Amino acid sequence: MKFSEPIYENLPFIYFSISALLLAYDTSWLMILSAGLFYCAGSVTLVVRSSYRRLDTHKNNKKFIPEAIYEYLPYIYHGVAMLLLLKTDSPVLQFFAFMLMILALRNLLCRKNNRTKKPSLF
């Protein structure tokens, strides 16, 4: 099955929107599980697309964490932050969730910038 380009390019964000709508509708565990599945589908789609569209050379550097966990880490940060915001009333935990969201956004923006740059000679 082929989708048109506007639908195909925005499909992960449609998954994220459905996830947010499910969480806004109700915060029961069944809705959280359903929203989590849509969130996982969106994040898997974005990670796979990112790996196919990389312009930089993929270097196999020694890292402290495996590559699969590294790729999904910003999405894990954001998911944990959303659950903390929804399920806690503590200002300290909500501040921690806000900081996790900022960290996830920073990682995604840096990753996108580094991977879409053409390799330079210097």
**What's this model's pTM, rounded to 2 decimal places?**
0.76
Please give the single-letter amino acid code of residue 116: T
Residue 64: pLDDT band (50, 70, 90) is confident
What confidence score (pLDDT) does residue 61 get?
A: 59
Q: Is the pLDDT of residue 19 over 60?
A: yes
Q: Is the pLDDT of residue 15 over 90?
A: yes
Rounded CA separation 67/99 (Å):
23
Q: Return the CA Rg of the chain.
A: 17
pLDDT in tens, 86-117: 888 999 999 999 999 999 999 988 887 777 76
Please give the single-letter amino acid code of residue 37: L
Rounded CA separation 54/75 (Å):
19
